[in-house]
RNA sequence: GGGCGAUUAGCUCAGGGGGAGAGCGCUUCCUUCACACGGAAGAAGUCGUAGGUUCAAAUCCUACAUCGCCCACCA
């Protein structure tokens, strides 16, 4: 190990380390009765997907919590797999066969589905391979897929159960139709966007004038739908129209006679106060139509061209029809005016085509009964969100939940297990495929549609564990899972539904205790990362530049509880450098192990007690941070400890003892170095698994501290480490640091070479003498001091630069070099600063309210600080007087 | 229309009632036997605006401004 390369090279290490983990079998968990398990299910990436920054962040978070749990000795299982992603996959395969000049109808249902499976065989493993490159410690031996045979059984059981309980039902409703994907979508799969459009005011003539009125004006954003109008609605209290209710208008262009009805829905203040009602093409109009028993004329084909009901406009695309209808209305004198108008238009979340509200027969889930217990579970804290504010978002949605349209007019997916008998009218859901009607024995046909992909994803936490009957022992042991980490955009699509179905099918047991809603990763300009827009960053490129550990740690540094991430690549740069720092600090320790034998670390010096105390503090901070899912804070604590305390100070403090001390002293410091490094590597491992593993496997540990891999080595016990806490040592080293920095500053100010030894005189009050003398070796070695003379009544040597550290006066003789004007300026500034602070403190300490009401320890602290400043000011005054 | 978050150093962001912090960038010096992906020393901020609470406000409250996001049956 003495020939560790000079720099850390991730590429040379990561592959071999990963293979070793895999060969060791550490990714899988065995059931150990009586030991508390830890389980996490990965949000299954789409089988069509490749790793993006959201995945990189989310899966690092999961790997961090999973690796810590595993090191804590818990049987730990991170379920991994992919989602069949109905629309996305079907689109990919359709593109593929389109290149061969074919449509899916040309290929046929069965062959098309086979093409989908083939596509998955060829490309479905991409993202799993990328997770491995990141070092994610998933259970790869038990990879799941939402179309696995056992998963299909689970999906079918859920559907049949809900069907039989009446929670799944067939309805003829307005749903969201994507004309490009040619399928229904649920409400939350529609993305609304404000669009600049117009409000067209149309004049509809009355069949018979009423009280001198011969027409009504209606306002619409969708003039083409007027072809399907079947009534006009006004508010019942609207004086302008009261007399017209019950009379008839003649629909322009069409000539159909339709009634004027009164309905509370209408807002008299909007537009003209009269609404054209098209029940087949607008959810509100549908409701009005239901209340007034109006016809529902379906004007649109599945591809959003006008249907035969549209008469002269039949066959036109919806936007072409709009143009023609407006032109024709204008020609007929029915177009009153056009206003500018911004309104929200729904788009398909998969292909961004404008959604058509469309009347059709679909399957729905009755959500209210499912939502009630799931609301309660969050309300009473069985499930908690991190950050907590997302609970309000969850409540708001769940309390206003609407029924879920689950049927999709696709081929790739879980086919709806409902069978119809055309002979006798029997309809039923069945776990087994049926050939004949159970009532009349006639041939039956299966529903053509498949289920919403989210219908199957909602079962992920228990279907992947073998529910309902494949591996009941896994369910019993690993369910509920401990934490679910995900992006906020699938809070409703996925998380809420997992809580509902998870509780329903597991006797009310929640699917996970904690939900982490992680920040969204935006690009440096704050825009959404998008492959198609070219605004994204590829995690694979980042790993190429910074290593997997560099990327992971750089992401962790950016995670905070309340802010999205504007991706800052400089954090990855400093993380890569951090990995290299860890590497080289370790290399230094390894290179200085002559005569080493493993053994208990025994603190012999203040420095030893200090670093052990700081290590104990780090361990506590990391435990608290990870328990609270505060990844950014935890990463910073690790970075600060390792770099600023261990490398910058302890290793420097250790050097003189390593090279100058006797064998016993050397062994003592070696044992502290190895112990601190060992513990720090364990604490760092969840965030930086590769570099820590590579170093740790070569650490010369005692047999009882060894493990086949750092990945399964015991996690540091912060309670046990707390025995090292030592505030005295921390104060002493803080003082040493202050003196060293003051001397170094003198050196830097006068450009004295680091190789030139300085002779330093310190004037210290009696109570500081012991410290300075006791640690004089440290001070001399760290500040490059030759002789260090300390006394309470030291005289300032001639030609000295001066520095202060609290009540210490530090004289650095620099023959001929000292610029007394510059010294005076600098000390003057220091004095001014100290003076301002002391004035502020004195004012505070003279304030009766402060003395009476502030916490005593605050007052005490301020008094101590004031005394310190008074001393420092006195020192500065003396020095300034000498320079005058 | 309702809700949430943000506004702190040139940039990206932590912090969260009592001495303004980090990374990157910048300035000066240093290739000293772990590391130049390094070391040392520095410069740099009226903590968005206006009120309020408090002995004490960057931190809590209210309003406003700006930016971002979510929800809502905005003909």
Q: pLDDT digits over A372-383, tens only? A: 999 999 999 999
For residue A801, the SS3 value is: strand
Rounded Cα distance between A177 and A409, Å, is 10
Identify the pLDDT of residue A417. 97
Q: Which nucleotides of B are covered by protein (CB under 7 A)?
A: 3-6, 11-15, 18-19, 22-24, 28-30, 32, 34-42, 54-56, 67-75
Q: pLDDT digits over A382-404, tens only? A: 999 999 999 999 999 999 999 99
Residue A621, CB, strand B, below 7 Å: no
Rounded Cα distance between A37 and A33, Å, is 9
Which helix (H) or strand (E) segment holds residue A348: the answer is strand A335-348
Identify the pLDDT of residue A821. 80
Cβ count near A311 (within 10 Å): 13
Confidence at A874, pLDDT banded by 50, 70, 90:
confident
Confidence at A524, pLDDT banded by 50, 70, 90:
confident
Q: pLDDT digits over A668-705, tens only? A: 999 999 999 999 999 999 999 999 999 999 999 998 88
Helix segments in A509-568, DSSP class H? 539-557
Torsional class of A182: left (φ above 0), alpha (ψ -120 to 50), beta (otherwise): left
Identify the pLDDT of residue A656. 87
Among all strands, which nt has the closest C1' to A659 (CA)?
B33
Note the maximum CA span of chain A. Answer: 117
Q: Please list the residues that pair with A169 across neighbouring strands.
A: A364
Confidence at A722, pLDDT banded by 50, 70, 90:
very high
Q: Report yes or no: A463 and A365 within 8 Å, Cβ to Cβ.
A: no
Q: pLDDT digits over A473-520, tens only? A: 999 999 999 999 999 999 999 999 999 999 999 999 999 999 999 999
Task: Say whether pLDDT at A2 is over 50.
Answer: no
Confidence at A882, pLDDT banded by 50, 70, 90:
confident
Share of chain A above pLDDT 70, in %: 100
Identify the pLDDT of residue A590. 95
Q: pLDDT digits over A795-838, tens only? A: 888 888 888 887 888 988 887 777 778 788 888 888 888 888 88
Which helix (H) or strand (E) segment holds residue A863: the answer is helix A856-883
Two tokens, residue A364 = 């729905």
Q: Report yes or no: A343 and A197 within 8 Å, Cβ to Cβ.
A: yes
Question: In the predicted model, what is the mean pLDDT of chain A?
Answer: 92
Identify the pLDDT of residue A802. 84
Of A398, A394, A445, which is closest to residue A417 (Cα–Cα)? A445
What is the sign, positive or negative, of the torsion defined by CA atoms of A171, A191, A286, A368?
positive
Beta strand A404-405 pairing with A335-348: unpaired
Among all strands, which nt has the closest C1' to A591 (CA)?
B34
Q: pLDDT digits over A592-628, tens only? A: 998 999 999 999 999 999 999 999 999 999 999 999 9
Name, in order, each residue with C-beta under 8 angstroms of A223's C-beta and a sequence gap of 6 or more: A200, A202, A322, A325, A326, A329
Round and report the angstrom distance from CA (A566) to C1' (B15).
19
Task: Say whether pLDDT at A320 is over 80.
Answer: yes
Residue A660, CB, strand B, below 7 Å: no
Angstrom distances, CA of residue A124 to CA of A83, A118, A490, A668, A863: 10, 9, 22, 54, 67
Q: Where are the beta strands (DSSP E) in A94-189?
A: 144-145, 168-178, 183-185
Identify the pLDDT of residue A712. 96
Residue A584, CB, strand B, below 7 Å: yes
Mean pLDDT lowest among A383-387, A610-614, A741-745, A749-753: A749-753
Output A472 or A420, whichever has higher pLDDT. A420
Residue A105, CB, strand B, below 7 Å: no
> In this predicted complex, what is the ipTM?
0.96
Rounded Cα distance between A221 and A233, Å, is 16
Q: pLDDT digits over A239-286, tens only? A: 888 888 889 999 998 889 999 999 989 888 888 889 999 999 999 999
Using the 8-state DSSP alphabet, how is residue A317 labeled? Answer: B
Chain centroid to Cα A324, Å, comes to 48
Q: Please list the residues that pair with A277 across neighbouring strands.
A: A231
Residue A587, CB, strand B, below 7 Å: yes
Q: What angle do CA A441, A442, A443 make, to 5 degrees?
A: 115
Confidence at A871, pLDDT banded by 50, 70, 90:
confident
Rounded Cα distance between A331 and A338, Å, is 15
Residues 503-522 in A having a C-beta less than 7 A from any atom of strand B are: none
Q: pLDDT digits over A86-142, tens only? A: 899 999 999 999 999 999 999 999 999 999 999 999 888 889 999 999 999 999 999
Name, in order, each residue with C-beta under 8 angstroms of A341's C-beta and a sequence gap of 6 or more: A197, A198, A199, A221
Q: pLDDT digits over A169-208, tens only? A: 999 999 999 999 999 999 999 999 888 889 999 999 999 9
Share of chain A above pLDDT 90, in %: 71
Rounded Cα distance between A501 and A135, Å, is 32
Q: In what order do the strands lie in the sheet with A404-405?
A: A183-185, A168-178, A356-365, A404-405
Using the 8-state DSSP alphabet, how is residue A793 labeled? Answer: T
Round and report the angstrom distance from CA (A635) to C1' (B16).
19
């Amino acid at each position: 190990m003495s020939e560790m390369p000079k720099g850390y090279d991730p590429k040379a290490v990561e592959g071999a380390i990963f293979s070793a983990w895999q060969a060791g079998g550490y990714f899988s968990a065995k059931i150990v009765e009586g030991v508390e398990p830890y389980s996490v299910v990965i949000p299954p990436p789409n089988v069509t997907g490749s790793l993006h920054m959201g995945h990189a962040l989310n899966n690092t978070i999961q790997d961090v919590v999973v690796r810590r749990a595993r090191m804590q000795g818990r049987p730990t299982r991170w379920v991994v797999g992919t989602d069949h992603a109905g629309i996305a996959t079907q689109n990919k395969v359709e593109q593929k066969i389109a290149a061969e000049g074919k449509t899916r109808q040309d290929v046929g249902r069965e062959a098309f589905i086979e093409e989908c499976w083939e596509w998955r065989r060829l490309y479905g493993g991409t993202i799993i391979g990328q997770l491995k490159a990141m070092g994610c410690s998933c259970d790869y031996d038990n990879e799941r897929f939402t179309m696995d045979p056992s998963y299909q059984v689970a999906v079918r059981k859920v559907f049949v159960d809900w069907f039989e309980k009446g929670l799944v039902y067939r309805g003829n409703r307005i749903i969201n139709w994507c004309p490009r994907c040619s399928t229904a979508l649920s409400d939350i799969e529609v993305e609304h966007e404000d669009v600049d459009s117009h409000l067209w005011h149309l004049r509809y003539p009355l069949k018979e004038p009423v009280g001198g009125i011969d027409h009504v004006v209606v306002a619409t954003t969708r003039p083409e739908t007027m072809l399907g109008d079947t009534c006009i609605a006004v508010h019942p209290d609207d004086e302008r129209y009261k007399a017209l209710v019950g009379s008839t208008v003649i629909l322009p262009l069409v000539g159909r006679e339709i009634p004027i009805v009164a309905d509370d829905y209408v807002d008299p203040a909007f537009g003209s106060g009269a609404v054209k009602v098209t029940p087949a093409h607008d959810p509100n109009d549908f409701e009005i139509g239901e209340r007034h028993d109006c016809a529902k004329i379906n004007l649109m084909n599945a591809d959003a061209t006008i249907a035969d009901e549209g008469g002269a406009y039949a066959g036109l695309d919806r936007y072409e029809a709009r143009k023609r209808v407006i032109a024709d209305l204008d020609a007929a004198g029915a177009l009153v005016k056009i206003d500018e108008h911004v309104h929200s238009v729904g788009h398909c979340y998969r292909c961004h085509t404008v959604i058509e509200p469309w009347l059709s027969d679909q399957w729905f889930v009755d959500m209210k009964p499912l939502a009630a217990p799931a609301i309660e579970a969050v309300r009473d804290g069985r499930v908690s969100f991190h950050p907590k504010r997302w609970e309000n978002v969850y409540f708001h949605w769940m309390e206003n939940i609407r029924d879920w349209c689950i049927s999709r007019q696709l081929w790739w997916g879980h086919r709806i297990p409902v069978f119809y008998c055309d002979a006798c009218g029997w309809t039923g859901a069945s776990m087994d495929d049926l050939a004949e009607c159970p009532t009349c024995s006639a041939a039956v046909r299966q529903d053509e549609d498949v289920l919403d992909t989210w219908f199957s994803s909602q079962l992920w936490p228990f279907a992947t564990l073998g529910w309902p009957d494949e591996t009941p022992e896994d369910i019993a042991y690993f369910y509920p899972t401990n934490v679910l980490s995900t992006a906020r955009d699938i809070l409703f699509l996925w998380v809420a539904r997992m809580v509902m179905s998870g509780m329903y099918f597991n006797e009310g047991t929640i699917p996970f205790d904690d939900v982490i809603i992680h920040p969204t990763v935006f690009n440096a300009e704050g825009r959404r990362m998008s492959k198609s827009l070219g605004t994204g960053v590829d995690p694979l490129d980042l790993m190429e530049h910074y290593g997997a550990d560099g990327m992971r740690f750089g992401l962790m540094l950016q995670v905070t509880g309340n802010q999205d991430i504007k991706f800052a690549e400089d954090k990855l740069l400093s993380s890569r450098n951090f990995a290299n720092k860890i590497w080289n600090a370790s290399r230094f320790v390894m290179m200085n192990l002559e005569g080493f034998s493993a053994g208990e670390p025994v603190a012999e010096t203040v420095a030893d007690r200090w670093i052990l105390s700081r290590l104990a503090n780090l361990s506590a901070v990391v435990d608290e941070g990870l328990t609270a899912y505060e990844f950014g804070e935890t990463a910073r604590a690790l970075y600060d400890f390792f770099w600023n305390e261990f490398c910058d100070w302890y290793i420097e403090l250790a050097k003189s003892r390593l090279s100058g001390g006797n064998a016993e002293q050397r062994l003592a410091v070696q044992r502290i170095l190895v112990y601190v490094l060992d513990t720090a590597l364990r604490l760092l491992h969840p965030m930086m698994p590769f570099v820590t593993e590579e170093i740790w496997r070569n650490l010369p540990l005692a047999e009882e501290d060894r493990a086949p891999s750092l990945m399964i080595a015991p996690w540091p016990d912060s309670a046990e480490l707390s025995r090292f806490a030592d505030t005295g040592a921390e104060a002493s080293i803080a003082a040493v640091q202050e003196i060293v920095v003051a001397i170094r500053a003198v050196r830097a100010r006068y450009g004295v070479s680091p190789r030139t030894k300085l002779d330093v005189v310190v004037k210290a009050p009696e109570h500081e003498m012991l410290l300075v003398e006791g640690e004089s070796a440290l001070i001399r070695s760290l500040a490059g001091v030759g002789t260090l003379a300390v006394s309470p009544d030291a005289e300032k040597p001639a030609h000295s630069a001066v520095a202060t550290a609290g009540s210490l006066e530090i004289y650095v003789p620099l023959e001929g070099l000292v610029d007394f004007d510059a010294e005076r300026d600098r000390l003057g500034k220091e004095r001014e600063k100290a003076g301002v602070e002391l004035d502020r403190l004195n004012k505070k300490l003279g304030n009766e309210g402060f003395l009476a009401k502030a916490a005593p320890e605050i007052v005490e602290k301020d008094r101590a600080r004031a005394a310190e400043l008074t001393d420092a000011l006195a020192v500065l005054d003396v020095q300034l007087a000498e320079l005058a």
